[in-house]
Amino acid sequence: MLQLFFAVAFSAMPLTLYVPPIRSLSLLVETIEDFFRQTSLYTVRAYPRIRDVFSSIFRNIFNLFR
């Protein structure tokens, strides 16, 4: 079984050289990656506040059903 794994792995390895990276396949994917990269700083700062808001909303909802 191990021999079969290595045979498949090493036969598929040269095929990866012919497949271009996803970034160069589509300008849309590159634009989306750039957008997420630029908004990640804001997301990191806003995440604790968003988490607090959602936790308070769910806390109030669950307290209604008690």
pTM over 0.85: no
Q: What is the pLDDT of residue 27?
A: 78
pLDDT surpasses 80 at 42: no
Where residue 28 falls among pLDDT bands split at 50, 70, 90?
confident
What is the C-alpha to C-alpha distance for residues 23 and 8, in angstroms, rounded to an integer? 26
Q: What is the pLDDT of residue 14?
A: 67
What is the C-alpha to C-alpha distance for residues 15 and 21, in angstroms, rounded to an integer? 13
Q: DSSP character for 13? A: T
What is the C-alpha to C-alpha distance for residues 55 and 3, in angstroms, rounded to an integer? 52
What is the C-alpha to C-alpha distance for residues 40 and 66, in angstroms, rounded to an integer? 38
Where residue 43 falls among pLDDT bands split at 50, 70, 90?
confident
Q: Determine contact, residues 23/29, Cβ cutoff 8 Å.
A: yes
